[in-house]
């Protein structure tokens, strides 16, 4: 394979698709775009792709709850297709609204007899938050975070608070290295992470999780908004890095197929 094909899935209200496609192409992939209705009408088109990405935005205006409408569509109309896609060893990435969709559809954390193991709900302060955050990784399992220890990325969401159903599920996810990305204080310091370093009050400071295989990953921060080093808000004072921190997420996904 010369270049992995990436399907960027759109819906009414999606608004980060072009930036996400650009990031994947910069990393060496070939990006294609499809509306959710196109995939529902012709589900076999996904067979031409190795990576599926659900980008950020406000799909269907975040009616009912953030990502819930599109999550329901995927669950009811595309469950078998996406299960086969994942079983074939391919990758799925959900960014911000995409993360909300993946977790509420059950594709990221499959439901059990009691329902979904975790969800994403309103930020602790009940407001939309737009800022930059420090992040540290558990990259033992997640394909997208291979070789990454820390990142500095922007967030922009109102419903990004990660809440597990109970402590047992949280401990299980942690032991299984599925709590792949966490908010932290500058320098990656451990311990209690207060606001604004944990901007939404997420349990255990969780900013992103992966599935048991490490091939499905959802995160609230926007890696596509820190691709070029000049995206960093303090680059004129701190100097230019070689590349933006978010680029590694897309590069790892593309390199996985080589």
What is the per-residue DSSP string for 168-209? HHHHHHHHTT---EEEE-TT---S---TTTSTT--GGGEEEE
Name residue 33's beta-bridge partners: 8
Name residue 183's beta-bridge partners: 135
Examine the residue annotation and report whether 184 is marked as an active-site residue of this protein.
no
Q: Which of 53, 159, 205, 224 is catalytic?
A: 224
Q: Which of 205, 222, 226, 231 is catalytic?
A: 222
Question: What are the residues whose beta carbons fall under 8 Å from the beta carbon of 207, sequence distance 6 or more?
Answer: 133, 135, 162, 181, 182, 183, 219, 220, 221
CB-based contact 36:81 (threshold 8 Å): no
Q: How far apart are CA 192 and CA 204, in angstroms?
A: 9
Q: Closest by alpha carbon to 20, among 28, 8, 12?
A: 8
Q: Which of 53, 96, 142, 184 is catalytic?
A: 96
Q: How far apart are CA 94 and CA 100, in angstroms?
A: 8
Q: Hey, what are 249's tokens?
A: 């997420």
Q: Closest by alpha carbon to 103, among 23, 220, 231?
A: 220
Examine the residue annotation and report whether 96 is marked as an active-site residue of this protein.
yes
Q: How many helices, marked H, and strands, marked E, lie in the chain?
A: 8, 11
Q: How far apart are CA 133 and CA 141, in angstroms?
A: 22
CB-based contact 88:131 (threshold 8 Å): no
Examine the residue annotation and report whether 41 is marked as an active-site residue of this protein.
no
Residues marked active site are found at 96, 222, 224
């Amino acid at each position: 394979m010369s270049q992995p094909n990436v399907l960027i899935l759109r819906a009414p209200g999606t608004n980060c698709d072009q930036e996400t496609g650009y990031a994947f192409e910069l990393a060496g992939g070939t990006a294609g775009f499809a509306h959710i209705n196109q995939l529902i009408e012709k589900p076999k088109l996904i067979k031409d792709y190795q990576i599926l990405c659900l980008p950020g935005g406000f799909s269907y205006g975040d009616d009912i709850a953030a990502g819930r409408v599109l999550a329901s569509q995927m669950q009811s109309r595309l469950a078998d297709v996406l299960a086969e896609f994942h079983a074939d060893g391919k990758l799925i990435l959900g960014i911000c609204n995409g993360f909300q969709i993946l977790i509420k559809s059950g594709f990221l954390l499959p439901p059990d007899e009691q329902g979904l193991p975790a969800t994403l709900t309103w930020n602790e302060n009940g407001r939309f938050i737009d800022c930059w955050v420090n992040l540290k990784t558990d990259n033992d399992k997640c394909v997208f975070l291979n070789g990454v220890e820390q990142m500095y990325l922007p967030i922009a969401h109102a419903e990004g608070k990660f809440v597990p159903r109970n402590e047992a599920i949280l401990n299980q996810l942690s032991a299984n290295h599925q709590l792949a990305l966490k908010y932290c204080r500058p320098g990656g310091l451990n311990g209690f992470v207060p606001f604004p370093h944990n901007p939404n009050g997420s349990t255990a400071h969780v900013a992103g999780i992966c599935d048991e295989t490490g091939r499905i990953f959802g995160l609230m921060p926007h890696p596509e908004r820190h691709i070029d080093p000049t995206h960093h808000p303090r680059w004129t004072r701190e100097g230019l890095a070689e590349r933006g921190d978010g680029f590694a997420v897309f590069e790892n996904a593309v390199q996985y197929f080589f």
